[in-house]
A and B are shown apart, each in its own frame.
Chain A
Amino acid sequence: MKARRVKGLDPAAPLAGELQRIVAVRTGELLGFMPAAADPAQVQALHDMRIAAKRLRYVLEIGAGLFGPYAATAMRRTRELQDLLGEIHDCDVTLPRVLALAERCRAEDVATILARAPEGAEDLDPALSVHAPHAAAHRGLQVLATHLQARRELLFGRFLAVYEQLGRDDFRGRLARATADRGSPGAPADARPPG
């Protein structure tokens, strides 16, 4: 996902003002993925939202010390969201691979069993299936796939809860006010409280 361009940034202008504008755009980008990302089937929207969270987090990592205390809190909240979306993404990437592998093992077993069956057999001897090459692996692959799907659903529920909490905490408004707060002029970045 390409980042939205922040227009009119001036290399000679004071850092805090330019970062404030970047934070505003990146915050809008992040929150703009809702409500689309509230649909658990919208895998791409969730993935893009994770990228947007990462972009906001890194701007805040650079700028948090220049702003009011809530900027550091917002950085932690954004990272929490990013981590959660990352875990969901891992499930979305891994589950289809496990299912494909399980299917491949099954297809290989079917081919092997058929090759072992006597030519002209009227029916299949069940004993042949017991000794299929991947017979022992099927259970573990199914258990893993089930675990990944259940974990994904649980994490998605947590994601919704975290997002709703951001709304209740007025994340956008408080972050906007924090980035407008310059504290004491001339204070070095790391002299501000972490929030």
Chain B
Amino acid sequence: MAKAREIPGLRAETPYAAAAAATVRVRAQELFDHAEGVLDTSDIERVHDMRVASRRLRAALEIYAPCFARKAFKAVLRDVKALADALGARRDPDVQLAHLEGLAGALGEESRPGLDVFAAVLRDDQATGNAVLAQALEAAAAQDLRGRLEALARSAERRAAP
């Protein structure tokens, strides 16, 4: 799993809202840095890294919720959740397929036909999840999620001033 990037300049006495702005910027950058090649089902680590980044971003938004402009915050959180859910819809069957492959070796050839039947179901889930993810990525781009996250960070900076 990708390690969370450090948030530069965080100190105990940093205003909560200034920390919010810094954290959201780093976590949003992490998310979009992992977006490349995420629909490639042959490399399941990409979607994993982006999913972890989406969870961290979502968590940061929730932890710093009082620091953001309320209406914009709700809409951004909703869209980040939707993206995280779409990443989960792709990631879950990825993990189950990998786990099943590991089990197939241990459970023996006699079990293989049954495991193959379940693997076919999971591959359907994976294809559906990939389509859901493709739509979510398009929606995030069309609705300028990145720009709105930056606007949210700026709204927090304004609230940091006493």
Contact = CB atoms under 8 A, between A and B. Distances in A.
B4 A15 contact: no
Nearest to A100: B121
A141 B112 CA distance: 9
B34 interface: no
A185 B55 contact: no
Contact of B12 (A14, A22, A58, A138): A14
Contact of B111 (A3, A18, A144, A190): A144
Nearest to B16: A18
B16 A188 contact: no
Query: Chain A interface mostly helix, strand, loop or mixed?
Result: helix
Nearest to B159: A11
B107 A143 contact: yes
B118 A65 contact: no
Q: Which 4 residue pairs spanning A and B have beta carbons closest together?
A: A140-B114, A58-B59, A11-B17, A16-B12
Contacts of B23: 62
B4 A61 contact: yes
A144 B161 contact: no
B63 A137 contact: no
B101 interface: no
19 contacts: A3-B62, A11-B66, A11-B156, A12-B159, A12-B161, A19-B16, A58-B55, A59-B59, A61-B56, A62-B7, A62-B19, A105-B117, A139-B110, A139-B111, A141-B115, A143-B107, A143-B111, A147-B107, A188-B9
